[in-house]
């Protein structure tokens, strides 16, 4: 269940970041906050539909599955909800507050390596 959740969450995050990267290439004049907001809005329906259909498939497992299936499906259900939340609300916002990689490289350029 944990590997499935990791793959699911990473896939959703990659889709959002790919859309941000694509929009950065096309619209260089916009600020990063606007690009992230637009990109998340464009991928929101895809992310929610994917999570919703996966949760619909898990409902029968929760309701009529055996003891081992119930634990597995409950773990998947919580993971999908948390993964969807983190893809939409956490990952993209972290990009906004992280320092640009180019600035870090310039800062460390003159320093000797250990």
| pLDDT by position in tens, the chain (length 114) | 678 778 888 888 889 889 988 988 888 767 888 888 999 999 999 999 999 999 999 888 888 888 878 888 888 888 899 989 988 888 888 888 887 765 555 565 656 665
Tokens of 107: 């800062």
State the pLDDT at residue 56. 94
CA 71/CA 77 separation, integer angstroms: 10
Length of the chain: 114
Query: How many other C-beta atoms lie within 10 A of the C-beta of residue 24?
Result: 14
φ and ψ at residue 73, rounded to 5 degrees: -70, -30
State the pLDDT at residue 103. 55
Tokens of 42: 């464009």
State the pLDDT at residue 109. 62
């Amino acid at each position: 269940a944990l590997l499935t959740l990791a793959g699911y969450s990473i896939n959703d995050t990659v889709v959002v970041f790919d859309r941000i990267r694509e929009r950065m290439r096309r619209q260089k004049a916009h600020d990063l906050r606007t690009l992230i907001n637009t990109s998340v809005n464009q991928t929101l329906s895809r992310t929610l539909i994917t999570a919703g259909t996966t949760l619909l498939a898990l409902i029968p497992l929760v309701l009529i599955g055996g003891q081992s299936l119930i634990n597995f499906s409950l773990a998947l259900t919580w993971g999908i909800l948390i993964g969807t939340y983190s893809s939409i609300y956490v990952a993209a916002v972290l990009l906004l507050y992280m320092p640009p990689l180019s600035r870090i490289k310039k800062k460390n350029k003159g320093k000797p390596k250990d």
